[in-house]
Chains A and B, each alone.
Chain A
Amino acid sequence: MSNPTERQPAWRAMLADYLGMAVVIVALIVVFSLLARNFFQAATFRTIANEIPDRVIVAVGMTFVLIIAGIDLSVGSVLAVSGAVLGACMALWHWPLALAIPACLAVGLACGAANGLVSVGWRIPSFIVTLGMLEVARGAAYLVTGSRTQYIGSRIEVVADASVLGLSLPFVLALAIVAAGQFVLSRTVFGRHLIAIGTNEEAVRLSGIDPRPRKLAVFMLCGLLTALAAVVHTSRLASANPNAGVGFELEAIAAVVIGGTSLMGGRGSVVRSFLGVVIIAILSSGLNQLGAQEPTKRVITGAVIVAAVIADHYRHRLGSKSQH
Chain B
Amino acid sequence: MPDRGELLTCTGLWKSYAEPVLRDVGLTLAAGEVHALVGENGAGKSTLARIIAGITRPEKGALTLAGAPFAPASRADAERHGVRVVMQELNLIANLTVAENIYLDQLPSHFGVVDYATLHRNAREQMQRVGLGHIAPNRPVHTLGVGQQQLVEVAAGLSRRCRLLILDEPTAALTDSEVELLFAQIARLRADGVGILYISHRLEETQRIADRITVLRDGAVVGTRPVDDVSLDEIVRMMVGRDLSDVQPRVERTLGAEALRVEGLCRGQTVRDVSFAVREGEVLGLAGLMGSGRTETLRAIFGADRRDAGDIYLGSSPAPARIRSPRDAVRQGIALLTEDRKEQGLLLPLAVRVNATLARLGAVARFGQWLDPARERTAAARLVDALGVRCHSAEQPVATLSGGNQQKVVLARWLFRDCRVLLFDEPTRGIDVGAKFEIYRLLGELSEQGKAVVVASSDLLELLAICDRIAVMSAGRLAATFRRGEWSEDLIMQAALSEHMGAATA
Contacts and interface: CB of A to CB of B under 8 A. Distances in A.
Given A208-B329, A208-B331, A203 B400 contact: no
A210 B325 contact: yes
Given A1-B381, A209-B358, A324-B392, A200 B326 contact: no
A226 to B, nearest CB: 24
B305 to A, nearest CB: 11
Contacts of A6: 377, 393, 395
Interface in B312-366: 325-327, 329-331, 336, 338, 343-350, 354, 358-359, 361-362, 365
Given A189-B362, A189-B368, A200-B347, A207 B397 contact: no
Interface string A308-324: 00000000000010011
A199 B348 contact: yes
A232 B231 CA distance: 84
Nearest to A9: B395
A269 B304 CA distance: 32
Contacts of B336: 206
A298 interface: no
A185 B417 CA distance: 22
A94 interface: no
Interface in B143-177: none
B106 to A, nearest CB: 35
B367 to A, nearest CB: 10
B378 interface: yes
Contacts of B377: 1, 6
A209 B381 contact: no
A208 B393 contact: no
Contact of B359 (A2, A190, A200, A209): A209
A205 B347 CA distance: 12
Contacts of B400: 323-324
A208 B374 contact: no
Given A1-B378, A187-B370, A188-B369, A199 B350 contact: yes
Contact of A192 (B346, B371, B396, B417): B371
Contacts of B368: 189
A239 B348 CA distance: 49
B35 interface: no
A67 to B, nearest CB: 12
B413 interface: yes
A165 interface: no
A289 B370 CA distance: 45
Interface range, B side: 35 or more
A195 interface: yes
B326 A207 contact: yes
A317 to B, nearest CB: 12
B371 to A, nearest CB: 5
B350 A196 contact: yes
Interface string A195-226: 11001101111111110000000000000000
A302 to B, nearest CB: 29
B361 A189 contact: yes
Contacts of A98: none
Does more than half of chain A's interface fall in helix, strand or loop, or is it mixed?
helix
A207 B325 contact: no
Contact of A196 (B358, B378, B397, B417): B358
A199 B361 contact: no
A199 B347 contact: yes
A286 interface: no
A251 B126 CA distance: 55
B183 to A, nearest CB: 40
Nearest to A1: B377
A15 interface: no
Interface in A253-286: 266-267
A292 B72 CA distance: 61
B371 A202 contact: no
A211 to B, nearest CB: 10
A1 B376 CA distance: 9
A208 B417 CA distance: 10
Contact of B371 (A188, A207, A266): A188
B371 A189 contact: yes
Contact of B347 (A1, A188, A203): A203
A189 B370 CA distance: 6
B361 A192 contact: yes
A196 B329 CA distance: 20
Contacts of B343: 200, 202-203
Contacts of A189: 361-362, 365, 368-371
A208 B347 contact: no
A10 interface: yes
B331 to A, nearest CB: 7
B395 A10 contact: yes
Nearest to A324: B400
Given A187-B370, A189-B368, A203-B345, A208 B327 contact: yes
A1 B52 CA distance: 54
Nearest to B362: A189
A197 to B, nearest CB: 10
Contacts of B392: 324
B345 A206 contact: yes
Contacts of B325: 205, 210
A267 B393 contact: no
Nearest to B346: A203
B369 A206 contact: no
B291 to A, nearest CB: 21
Contacts of A9: 395
Given A203-B344, A208-B326, A210-B325, A188 B350 contact: no
A199 B168 CA distance: 35
Contacts of A210: 325, 327
Contacts of A209: 327, 358-359
Contact of A199 (B349, B373, B417): B349
A192 B395 CA distance: 15
A171 B348 CA distance: 38
Contacts of A324: 392, 396-397, 400
Contacts of B302: 206
B358 A188 contact: no
A207 B413 contact: yes
A319 to B, nearest CB: 10
Nearest to B417: A208
Contacts of A187: 370-371, 373
B345 A192 contact: no
A207 B370 contact: no
A193 B354 CA distance: 10
Nearest to A6: B393
A207 B336 CA distance: 8
Shortest 6 CB-CB contacts between residues of A and residues of B = A208-B330, A199-B347, A1-B377, A189-B361, A207-B359, A210-B327
24 contacts: A1-B377, A6-B377, A6-B395, A187-B371, A188-B370, A192-B371, A195-B354, A196-B350, A196-B354, A196-B358, A199-B349, A200-B344, A202-B343, A203-B344, A204-B358, A206-B338, A206-B345, A208-B326, A208-B327, A208-B359, A209-B359, A266-B349, A267-B349, A324-B392
Interface of A: 1-2, 6, 9-10, 187-190, 192-193, 195-196, 199-200, 202-210, 266-267, 320, 323-324
Given A189-B370, A208-B331, A323-B396, 9 more contacts: A1-B374, A1-B381, A187-B373, A195-B350, A196-B354, A207-B326, A210-B327, A266-B347, A320-B397
